[in-house]
């Protein structure tokens, strides 16, 4: 089969990297498309992943939400022109560009998402309604609260399992050398999102005062490293983490505490058994199903809408000895109950054209 893969963010690239390897070993031809700017492109280059840049690198304002909207038709057309000569059988990705491109190509699309339209921003709800009719099959975790009928498949896993399951990820403790600290020295990682994606309209995380307070509070007890997607202010420059992008999961694994206002990395840290605090305006009863499950069922994460409550919890947790030992036991339960999404997704794609019907769920 000839399979087109759209992967834009670092998490999407990590999701597909093992899937692509398995699919190629099975004799399939994979064509990867990535936006020409951003952290996703940088990670792909670090991992030596060949890809076609379907957006224009010299379009400087692509980092803003509105410019991405304006450039979308051009980017979809560019992707279509590239793929139409390759006899593509199926397209997969995380929605929008891949859904429209597959429609233009006249081939099915298998789209994965854990962003729930009813839980994310109004802008994402609008976008989802616009591209959902062009999706052939929607794949989501079982924790996904909505049900979209016959073309919706739910699987008992998280997308982060595709690259952080023990089958695919082994932590490397030489990250301490890169961080220039000793192995017995505790450290906290703070990750702040730029919140400039399509689906981030109206979503808020930590403000600048919160970030500074977190740094000052946490450094009383441990080393502090900051990863700021929007770029660090001069007051945080001294704390900015300097590592290859493909080593971030080793940092998450060995961190004593992870504090963030982003989504994917919160799930990653939880899956790796690191106590995690997430502060985001989506938190609460209407939050994404995976965060509700990780907090209430597996007790691996705390979700807060109020930043002050999140900071208070961080100050409490950082002072608890041997906290990670408790988290490791919780992580073991999670791993036992979730399936290998990489293996499942590979089989789903290669057998897609052979199946007359779509299964309702897998777990």
Global pTM reads 0.88
Residue 252: its pLDDT value, please?
98
Is the separation of the CB atoms in 79 and 33 below 8 Å?
A: yes
Spatial separation of the C-alpha atoms in residues 89 and 165, rounded to whole Å: 29
Residue 165: its pLDDT value, please?
95
Spatial separation of the C-alpha atoms in residues 20 and 103, rounded to whole Å: 22
Residue 329: its pLDDT value, please?
93
Average pLDDT by consecutive 10-residue portion of the chain (363 residues)? 95 96 97 89 93 76 58 93 97 95 96 86 83 96 92 96 96 97 96 63 77 95 89 76 94 98 93 96 88 97 95 96 93 96 95 58 50
Is the separation of the CB atoms in 340 and 163 below 8 Å?
A: no
Residue 135 corresponds to which tokens in the numbers above?
């999706």
Q: Which domains are delineated in the chain?
A: 2-157+339-353 (3.40.50.2000), 174-337 (3.40.50.2000)
């Amino acid at each position: 089969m000839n399979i087109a893969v759209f992967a834009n963010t670092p998490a999407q690239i990590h999701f597909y990297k093992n899937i692509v390897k398995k699919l190629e070993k099975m004799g399939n031809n994979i064509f990867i498309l990535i936006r020409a700017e951003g952290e996703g492109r940088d990670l792909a280059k670090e991992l030596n992943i060949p890809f076609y840049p379907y957006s224009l690198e010299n379009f400087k304002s692509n980092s803003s939400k509105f410019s991405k909207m304006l450039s979308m038709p051009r980017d979809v057309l560019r992707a279509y022109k590239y793929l139409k000569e390759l006899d593509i059988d199926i397209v997969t990705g995380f929605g929008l560009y891949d859904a429209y491109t597959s429609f233009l190509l006249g081939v099915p699309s298998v789209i994965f998402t854990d962003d729930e339209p009813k839980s994310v921003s109004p802008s994402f709800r609008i976008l989802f309604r616009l591209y959902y009719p062009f999706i052939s099959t929607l794949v989501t975790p079982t924790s996904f609260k909505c049900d979209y009928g016959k073309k919706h498949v739910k699987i008992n896993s998280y997308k982060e399992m595709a690259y952080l399951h023990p089958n695919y990820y082994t932590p490397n403790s030489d990250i301490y050398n890169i961080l220039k600290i000793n192995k017995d020295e505790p450290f906290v990682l703070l990750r702040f999102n730029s919140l400039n994606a399509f689906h981030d309209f109206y979503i808020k995380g930590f403000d600048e005062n919160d970030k500074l307070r977190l740094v000052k509070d946490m450094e009383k007890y441990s080393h502090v490293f900051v990863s700021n997607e929007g770029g660090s202010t001069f007051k945080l420059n001294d704390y900015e983490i300097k590592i290859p992008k493909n080593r971030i999961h080793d940092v998450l694994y060995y961190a004593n505490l992870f504090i963030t206002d982003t989504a994917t990395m919160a799930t990653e840290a939880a899956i790796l058994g690191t106590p995690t605090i997430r502060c985001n305006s989506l938190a609460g009863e209407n939050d994404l199903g995976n965060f509700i499950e990780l907090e209430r069922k597996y007790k691996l994460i705390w979700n807060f809408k109020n930043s002050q409550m999140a900071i208070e919890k961080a100050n409490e947790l950082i002072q608890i000895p041997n906290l990670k030992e408790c988290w490791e036991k919780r992580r073991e339960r999670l791993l036992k109950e979730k399936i290998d999404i990489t293996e499942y997704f590979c089989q789903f794609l290669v057998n897609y054209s052979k199946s007359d019907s779509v299964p309702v769920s897998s777990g």
